[in-house]
Amino acid sequence: MQGDGRIVSAVRAVLVDLDGVVYAGERALPGAAEFFATLQRLGVAYAFLTNNTTRTPEHYAARLAQLGIAVDRAQIVTAAEAAAGVIARERPAARVYVIGEDGLRSAFQRRGFVLTGEAADYVVVGLDRSFDYEKLRLGTAAIRRGAQFVASNADALLPTDDDFVPGAGAMVGALVGATGVAPRVIGKPKPDMLLLALEPLGVLPREAMMIGDRLDTDIAAGRAAGMYTALVLSGVARAEDLPAAPVQPDLVAEHLGALASVFARYRGEGARAE
């Protein structure tokens, strides 16, 4: 563990990225279940965040339960849920054209939005593995008519075990190219999703910590939201990436198990978790 672990004494809630932090593929990463058990013992609230819009919160809750981490769906905030929440505040009766998969569509359906490609007030884009010319045409037409252009996230590439594959940013980029309009981005590295996740926890940003495995999204988003940040080296980022990074985390840990040790030590348990 690097950095001053004593800052955890000011933290009342943590927001945690999923892939590369809690799990990798089908396996839990070191100390994941222990970390959340430690937070529960210490009375520190937590929620999970992901830029992935293809799955529902229920899917993630079930997946975490299989890894021994019990969580309510309300503790899981996807970029899809965040986008629907932001638009619900602005215009709850909006007509929305969704370019995305089940996680994005269901987030808007649950809030009662009318989903349509005709006369849309918003065009909302996420990863869509069936993206085609017709969707591009409808989205372009709606934006040119004045619909607000919202990107659930702008991740151009997504890491896989073997390589990188196109992310939501590829669909977003096609619409930008066709319309010349830049979208409003809701997911990380923007702070909107983080601030939305903190509201039900009743915690101010300066009392919270964002934990992630990516400097360019997780840590950048935490900084933008005014939160403490912790980088775990169990996913994308490596220690050698830190010197040149434009944003720096407050803490760096090998994995959540190491971070559990710091929380236990500085929150009064007195014992170091392993």
Segments making up each domain of the chain, as ranges: 2-51+189-266, 80-185
Active site residues: 17, 19
Q: What is the mean pLDDT of residues 38-50?
A: 95
Reading the block at residue 79, the tokens are 């970029």
CB atoms within 10 A of CB 251: 21
The residues, any chain, with a CB within 8 Å of residue 196's CB and separated by 6 or more, are: 77, 82, 85, 86
CA distance 205 to 214: 19
Q: Tell me, what DSSP letter sits at residue 73?
A: G
In this prediction, residue 269 has a pLDDT band, given cuts at 50, 70 and 90, of low
**pLDDT recorded at residue 271:** 40
pTM: 0.91
Reading the block at residue 194, the tokens are 């983080």
Least confident of 28-42, 43-57, 152-166, 189-203: 152-166
Q: Tell me: the pLDDT tens digits for 10-38? A: 999 999 999 999 998 888 999 999 999 99
Residue 274 has pLDDT above 70, yes or no: no
> 2-51+189-266 and 80-185: same fold?
yes
Contact 252, 3 (CB under 8 A): yes
C-alpha distances out from residue 24 to 160, 162, 222, Å: 10, 13, 22
Residue 5's SS3 state is helix
Q: Tell me: the pLDDT tens digits for 204-244? A: 999 999 999 999 999 999 999 999 999 999 999 999 999 99
* Amino acid in the structure at residue 147: A
**pLDDT recorded at residue 70:** 86
Q: Is CATH 3.40.50.1110 correct for 2-51+189-266?
A: no
CA distance 230 to 253: 7
Residue 273 has pLDDT above 80, yes or no: no
Q: Tell me: the pLDDT tens digits for 72-81? A: 999 999 999 9
- Is cis: bond before 205, omega within 30 of 0? no
Residue 3 has pLDDT above 70, yes or no: no
**pLDDT recorded at residue 2:** 52
Residue 90's SS3 state is helix
CATH superfamily for 80-185 is HAD superfamily/HAD-like (3.40.50.1000)
Residue 131 has pLDDT above 60, yes or no: yes
CA distance 136 to 212: 32
Q: Tell me: the pLDDT tens digits for 248-260? A: 999 999 999 999 9
CB atoms within 10 A of CB 43: 8
